[in-house]
Amino acid sequence: MATISAVSTQKEAVSNQEEQPQKTFLPLQVAKRLEKFKTTIFTQMSMLAIKHEAINLGQGFPNFDGPEFVKEAAIQAIKEGKNQYARGYGVPDLNSAVAARFRKDTGLMVDPEKEVTVTSGCTEAIAATMLGLINPGDEVILFAPFYDSYEATLSMAGAKIKSMTLRPPDFSVPIDELKSVISKNTRAILINTPHNPTGKMFSREELNVIASLCIENDVLVFTDEVYDKLAFEADHISMASLPDMYERTITLNSLGKTFSLTGWKIGWAIAPPHLTWGVRQAHSFLTFATSTPMQWAAATALRAPESYYEELKRDYMAKKAILVEGLKAVGFVVYPSSGTYFVVVDHTPFGLENDVAFCEYLIKEVGVVAIPTSVFYLNPEDGKNLVRFTFCKDDDTLRSAVERMKAKLRRR
């Protein structure tokens, strides 16, 4: 099985920790705005995976490597001396490649100089968007379950979060609830399609309703589309491409998922100039610029032929089939996932009290790691029956995980 540096780096971190002599530390300190947050669930679970030698179907990082032509481009860029600070909002070649891909995907023509900002992963693009465009007290609507950094960065910005829950089996948008929550006081609504953790893809009807409510109430849309190339059961639709939406939309994306290079941390935000200004101001003082040689390589990656994306999709559909069929055979209630490399299941047939208890049992007694979803809700109760598995692992790893679960999990 391929081992990759991300795993070995994490392993080193764990073993270094164990070798440290016992020291006493002062109580932990953290600013109020981050007080309620814990170590991210992905870090917690990956550390436990290493400690218990469990198969990690938790944190979403491929255990196979990115394409040779992209790695070669990075080596080349380093050798050519592209090693000093990049232009703050992106090396020109990458801004152009992002704009060209956006045009191919959505039909929208954007100015790479004025409407594209390159960031350190989509996570920084999310933070820069929140910090650059949200004022303390502004209302922002989220759909739960939501990716953990949304709440934390909104909290840093001092936003007032309004969350509404997408419920199984289809996780559809509760339109009436949305209508009752959205108002002239709403500054922004955040969507994520294909959606982490559920694999839901927002339908055209849902996007249309959200769009018309945003236009009516003068609300911005922040849209996280990092899994756009992992759309299996439906076509990906970018909110920015809907009529009259581009001017109020910030589209966030990254390289990591599409090119199996999650450690490179290259992301971007696409928005009209009046919104790009806020994003760039925050980005300037968060990181200023992102790794120069990796940006050059990212530009090469984005010029990949269509066949690259087709193959990626084919490979992931095969992996998805192994995991989904396996989970069904083990006895889980598996909810349909249309995109992303995640699938959410109901664990209650196995009789454990909640998602956290189930994941603990799964790691310690079965040797498999999944992500408890209750951390993705403002009200953790809403996620207590659900856990997330990822299939961004080589086929043997997926099969071994299924075998372990078949051997040890019993319905109660």
- When the beta carbons of 5 and 185 are compared against ligand GLN, the nearer one is 5
Cis ω before 272 (30° cut-off from 0): no
- When the beta carbons of 292 and 390 are compared against ligand GLN, the nearer one is 390
Strand, helix or coil for residue 339: strand
Exactly one of 7, 40, 87, 336 binds ligand GLN (CB under 6 A); that residue is: 40
Report how many helices (DSSP H) and strands (DSSP E) the chain contains, helices first. Answer: 14, 13
**132 part of the interface to ligand GLN, by CB under 6 A:** no
- When the beta carbons of 42 and 277 are compared against ligand GLN, the nearer one is 42
Strand 342-346 relative to strand 386-390, pairing: antiparallel
- When the beta carbons of 196 and 295 are compared against ligand GLN, the nearer one is 196
How buried is residue 290: exposed, middle or buried, by Cβ count under 10 Å (0-12/13-18/19+)?
A: buried
**186 part of the interface to ligand GLN, by CB under 6 A:** no
Exactly one of 37, 42, 69, 308 binds ligand GLN (CB under 6 A); that residue is: 42
Nearest to 366 by CA among 336, 344, 341, 387: 387
Minimum CB–partner distance for residue 344 and ligand GLN (Å): 12
Tell me the C-alpha distance between 286 and 202, whole Å.
Answer: 31
**196 part of the interface to ligand GLN, by CB under 6 A:** yes
Minimum CB–partner distance for residue 196 and ligand GLN (Å): 5
**340 part of the interface to ligand GLN, by CB under 6 A:** no
- When the beta carbons of 59 and 251 are compared against ligand GLN, the nearer one is 59
Nearest to 234 by CA among 205, 213, 255, 210: 205
- Quickly list H helices, 182-333: 204-217, 273-286, 292-302, 306-330
- When the beta carbons of 59 and 186 are compared against ligand GLN, the nearer one is 59
Contacting ligand GLN within 43-72 (CB under 6 A): 59-60
Torsion of CA 256, 201, 197, 349, to 10 degrees: -140
The binding site for ligand GLN (CB under 6 A) comprises 40, 42, 59-60, 196
